[in-house]
Each structure stands twice: as C-alpha cells, then as structure tokens.
Amino acid sequence: MTPEPPQHFQHPQALVEGTAIGAGTRIWAFAHVLAGARIGRDCNICDHVFIENRVVIGDRVTVKSGVQLWDGIELESDSFVGPNATFTNDRFPRSRRWQAEIAKTVVREGASVGANATILPGITIGRHAMVGAGAVVMHDVPPNAIVIGNPAYIKGYVDAKPGAGPDRAAAPAEPGAARGTRVRGVTVQRLPKMMDLRGSLCVAEIGKGLPFVPRRCFTVFDVPSREVRGAHAHRRLIQALICVHGDCALMVDDGQQREEIVLNSPETLVVIEPMVWGVQFRFSPDAVLVVLASDEYDAADYIRDYDEYLTLVKASADA
C-alpha cells in the first residue's frame, strides 16, 4: 500500500526523521528535525535549523536560519525566533555528563526572540513579549515586555503608548486638574504645589484628588534599574502612586489598552482602580515611590498571573 504523501513541505536537502508535523509547515534546506519533535501547522523552519527530540512547536511559528532547539524547549503558537538566536538547556554543562532533568524553556504565544539573543535554561518568555537583538535573557520576561541588553532589562511594553508626566503636554495643565488615560480605571492628576523660601510642598486631600481614605501606605526605593515591581492587578483595592524623588515608569493595562506613564515629580499622582494590571519599572537609582492603598494588605486580593487576569477581564465583559 502506497503511503500518503506528507501534508507539509520539506526541501530535498532537509533531514526530517519524524512525522509529527502539521499541514502547511515548510522545512527548508539543511534543516535537521529529530524523530521525537512535534511541529504544528503552517510553521516556517528555515535553512540550517536543528530541532531535537523533546521539542514542541505550536502553529504558525517562524524559526529563522541558524537556530538550534534543544530538548525541553517549547515554542507556542505565533511565536517568532530570529536568526542565530541561541537557546540553552543545561545550567552547568560538562562534556559527557547528562543532566537528570531537562530545564524547560517556553516562548509563549505571539512572543518574539530577536537575532543573536541568548536565552538561559528554564526561562519563560511571556505572551507577546519582545526580546531585542543580542539580548542575554537571564530571568523570565513578563507578558508584553520589551527587553534589551546584557543582562536583559525591560525597556518598555508592547503597544504601551507614552502617557503623562508633568513635563508632557498630555498631563493636566492646572494644579488640581485630572485627566483620564487610554486605560480604563486609571487617572493622572497634577497636585497643587506651593513654593516659598522654606522650600516646596505638594498636597493631596481626600475628596480633592485622592478619591479614597488610605488604609495603608508603603514606600518603594533602592530598586535596581533592571528590576520590576508590581506585575499584578487587584480585585478590589484602589491605589494612588507618587514618585516623590527620582523617576520611574508605570505601565497600566486594562486587558485591551496599555499606557506607559512617567512618574518623575511629586506633582504627579496616578490613581489605579481595581482590575487594572500595573507594573513599575525603569527606576532611577534615587527613585522613591510612595503608594497609598484603600485597604490593608490581603494576599487574596492580588491577581499575579496575567493569563488569569485576562480570563477574569473577559468574563466580566461577557457578564
């Protein structure tokens, strides 16, 4: 009985040992796919790509030339790997010493890894994140984050348009004024500022700029510039943020829109309502961020998984 021809394309000079390959996938010259690898539909595997046995590739994935995918690596659907990007799967490699357990590295749905980037073992690159060319990624990359450098740090967020700060036209012009943002539940206010020979003072009064009675206050400082704070949403809590010294960036996300807000003055107060995903990043060495909260600490109020957050937002919209 004549076997059915494969539904995928493979170049005559490609070496493909396995059959778990989806329809419409294209495998080009000098690629080598081992027998245990699983590749989804409509993928593009370019010249000189090596794919080991315990590799899983989703649908519509592009892997450019010169990439090696070792055991334990998973590329979810719609992800992109640029030319000569390097993945690793052994934290302490030694010749002819095999590790008992392979570290799992995952590139989540829609994420991109730039040319010549290096990804250390056991890392997750979040949904729709962007790893810049040549970056050395040593820690997990949050969803939608843009990371660059060696070691990689967060430069910004995908589709997070620049927002407000006291030195930007988008900020309220008058003391006490407020403006909405593209992100539902987030407002930016300019606090009144008084100056005389004794110094300067900014004030936020309950009912006049501060829409809740604070039950908790905490201060964030001495944050290394490559680190992030936040990366969660609250179910019920309202927060007000003021960077009283130095500067940092705030990314807010309502599940549909994102905005990046620069906090670089005691005059700027940002109010974040419940069910808004927030991340603080790009701290200057002298940054001091003050956060006022509408309630006492409650671990159950936090949503720390972005996928769970998106599910809750969608459920709320459909209700």
Task: Decide: 31 and 12 in contact? Cβ < 8 Å.
Answer: no
Percent of the chain with pLDDT over 70: 94
Catalytic residue among 11, 32, 139, 232: 232
Least confident piece of the model among 39-48, 169-178, 202-211: 169-178
User: Which structure tokens are listed for 294?
Assistant: 């509408």
In the sheet where 118-119 sits, what is the strand order? 15-16, 32-33, 50-51, 68-69, 86-87, 118-119, 136-137
CB 140 within 8 A of CB 126: yes
Range scoring the smallest mean pLDDT among 98-102, 159-163, 197-201, 289-293: 159-163
Range 275-297 average pLDDT:
94
DSSP string, 259-318: EEEEE-STTEEEEE-SS-EEEEE---TT-EEEEEESS---GGGEE--HHHHHHHHHHHHH
Whether the per-residue pLDDT at 149 is higher than 60: the answer is yes
Q: In angstroms, rounded to a whole number, what is the distance separating the alpha carbons of residues 216 and 314? A: 30
Q: What is the largest CA-CA distance in the chain?
A: 96
Report the mean per-residue pLDDT for the chain.
90
How many CA atoms are closer than 13 Å to the CA of 272, on its beta-carbon side? 27
245 catalytic per annotation:
no
The string over 166-194, giving b where at least 16 C-beta atoms fall within 10 Å of a residue's C-beta and e elsewhere, is: beeeebbeeeeeeeebebeebbbbbbbee
Q: Is the predicted pLDDT of residue 72 greater than 60, yes or no? A: yes
Indicate the DSSP class of residue 5.
P
Q: Which residues pair with 38 in a beta bridge?
A: 56
Query: Among 274, 316, 266, 267, which residue's Cα sits nearest to residue 294?
Result: 274
Give the model's pLDDT for residue 136.
97
The reported pLDDT for the residue numbered 177 is 65
106-132 pLDDT, tens digit per residue, is 999 999 999 999 999 999 999 999 999
Asked if the model's pLDDT at residue 66 lies above 50, the reply is yes
